[in-house]
Copies of this chain bind each other. A is one copy, B any other.
Amino acid sequence: MEQKLFKNYLGEKRLKLTKERLAVLQEVFAFHGHFAPEQLYFRMRDSGSKASRASVYRTLTLLVECGLVQRIARSDRGNVYEHIYGHGHHDHLICSLCGEIIEFYSENLEKIQEEVCRRNKFRGVSHILEIRGICGRCKG
């Protein structure tokens, strides 16, 4: 299903569905969790599918553009992504001590953001909400 969507997106933009792009897509959807581009690149090397580092980065950008993947944070060490198709949008609580990432979704929060956009004559397209603090386990 995500392949079909990706193919459509590429078609519209007169871009080509190469085996490298397909390999990145498959690896991204085979893995469930948050990942950095470098991790994705090395996981692909290990699992035998081939795509250069450059292609991994380039394809990730395309996947974000067409809405199959979202960039959820820009950590101190590079960007963090996750596939989103089939999961729906959500935001994150990030523990500064242990690094745990808790996902949440609040309808209310989304509604109020839309309201904020309206008030500012702004067409919201995406957002990153990243709440940093200390998780239950680390609080003790």
Which B residues are in CB contact (< 8 Å) with A109? 109, 112-113, 116
Q: A96-B125, A106-B112 are in contact. Are A120 and B132 (CB under 8 A)?
A: no
Give A66 to B115 CA distance when docked, in angstroms. 32
**A134 cross-chain contacts in B, Cβ below 8 A:** 122-123, 125
Other contacts beyond A109-B113, A123-B134: 11, CB < 8 A:
A95-B122, A102-B120, A104-B119, A109-B109, A109-B116, A112-B112, A120-B135, A121-B139, A122-B133, A122-B134, A126-B132
A–B Cβ pairs within 8 angstroms, 29 of them = A73-B74, A74-B74, A93-B117, A93-B120, A93-B122, A93-B124, A104-B119, A104-B120, A106-B115, A106-B116, A108-B112, A112-B112, A113-B131, A117-B131, A120-B135, A121-B135, A121-B136, A122-B135, A122-B136, A123-B139, A124-B133, A125-B133, A126-B131, A126-B133, A127-B130, A128-B128, A128-B132, A129-B129, A129-B130
